[in-house]
Amino acid sequence: MQTATAIAHPNIALVKYWGKRSVALNLPAVPSLSITLDSFRTRTQVVWGVDADAVHVDGSPAPAAFAKRVTDFLDLMSPNRPGCMVLTENNFPSGAGLASSASGFAALAVAANRAAGRHDDRTALSIMARRGSGSACRSLFGGFSEWKLGSRPDGSDSHAVPVASPNYWAVAMVVAVVTERAKAVGSTEGMERSRTTSPFYPSWVETTPGDVEKAREAVYERDLEALGQVMERSTLKMHGVMMSSDPPLLYWLPGTLAVLHEVGDLRRQGIGAWATMDAGPQVKVLCMHQDAERVVEAIKPHVRRIHVLRPGPGAFIDDEE
């Protein structure tokens, strides 16, 4: 019996991933680029070699669907594995609109790998985490990271790579929680619906690699305006694809739009702030850390909760047990 514990942080895509070229392997139709955040984290302990599988979330037995996702992932990782106990906890509210599946599968991949006595490198762990949830592959790296599209059919070249370290640039993500209601349509189902029905999907796939190029250059140059512009364009394009799917995927609420307009007003007042949204109504605002309070003040009237987060580290083994 071996035990290992890992910590991973969620990440927010600046240039988005939406659409799969393989559902079975979780291979993306587009590359993407993200920031891994600090403060919010998943901590996961894996005990390798117990009588029967058991999965606990925040101290209670996990719901069946969640437990199955975890044990299926362990089966993928190690088809002849022994029974495993997985204890996982998030220090952030599940309604925060921060994909806990990204930090969750990154932490699980790192902890299970170590508990199994393996020492896979970060690239192999990123590929493994991708199988659990696509965006999880980016949480293996801290700061800014890019998920390479890859071209091999087996997915062995579709993983994240580091772009810039957490302290490279003093930016912040202001996370505006518009509602705590659970999302209506999950990402895999939504992506397949967009791929098969949205008339805009082909141009989304065609133009996103260029957006990643621009975003990567903007990070290298520390050019917030260039990064913010390409980031907003990517999210609005993605939501255009979502809204034009059949039936439509309309994730926005009135509060979403109110925050978007406040962010536009802030820019007109000279504050560098740009917005991004995922498969839900929450808005995340990218700005310099010193401007975060101004952003908070402006959007506060429209939202339920606000978190100010900074770039954080990639997933790691937690030795403090």
Instruction: State the residues that interact with ligand PMV by CB under 6 A.
Output: 13, 16-18, 32, 99, 101, 133-135, 187, 278-279
Nearest CA to 110 among 96, 95, 126? 126
Nearest distance, CB of residue 213 and ligand PMV, angstroms = 16
Nearest distance, CB of residue 80 and ligand PMV, angstroms = 27
Nearest distance, CB of residue 287 and ligand PMV, angstroms = 20
Rank residues 20 and 310 by Cβ distance to ligand PMV and give the closer one: 20
Rank residues 16 and 159 by Cβ distance to ligand PMV and give the closer one: 16
Rank residues 98 and 292 by Cβ distance to ligand PMV and give the closer one: 98
Radius of gyration of the chain (CA): 19
Nearest CA to 12 among 156, 254, 215, 193? 215
Rank residues 48 and 73 by Cβ distance to ligand PMV and give the closer one: 73
Nearest CA to 174 among 291, 261, 93, 253? 291
Cis check for the bond before 247: say yes or no (omega within 30 of 0).
Answer: yes
100's CB contacts (< 8 A; 6+ apart) are 10, 42, 90, 92, 94
Rank residues 115 and 140 by Cβ distance to ligand PMV and give the closer one: 140
Number of neighbouring beta carbons within 10 Å of residue 50:
12
Nearest distance, CB of residue 231 and ligand PMV, angstroms = 11
Provide long-range contacts, Cβ within 8 A and 24+ apart, for 73-80.
73/105, 73/108, 73/109, 73/112, 73/131, 73/132, 74/112, 76/128, 76/131, 77/109, 77/112, 77/113, 77/116, 77/128, 78/112, 78/116
By the 10 Å C-beta count (0-12 exposed, 13-18 middle, 19+ buried), 56 is classed as middle
Nearest distance, CB of residue 37 and ligand PMV, angstroms = 12
Nearest distance, CB of residue 2 and ligand PMV, angstroms = 29
One-letter amino acid at 286 equals L
Nearest distance, CB of residue 92 and ligand PMV, angstroms = 16
CA 112 to chain CA mean position, Å? 20
Nearest distance, CB of residue 29 and ligand PMV, angstroms = 12
Rank residues 236 and 271 by Cβ distance to ligand PMV and give the closer one: 236
Rank residues 117 and 209 by Cβ distance to ligand PMV and give the closer one: 209
CA distance 175 to 200: 28
Nearest distance, CB of residue 86 and ligand PMV, angstroms = 19
Rank residues 193 and 298 by Cβ distance to ligand PMV and give the closer one: 193
Give the side-chain half-sphere CA count within 13 A for 11: 36
CA distance 25 to 122: 18
Rank residues 101 and 126 by Cβ distance to ligand PMV and give the closer one: 101
Give yes or no for a contact between 83 and 70, defined as CB atoms under 8 angstroms apart.
no
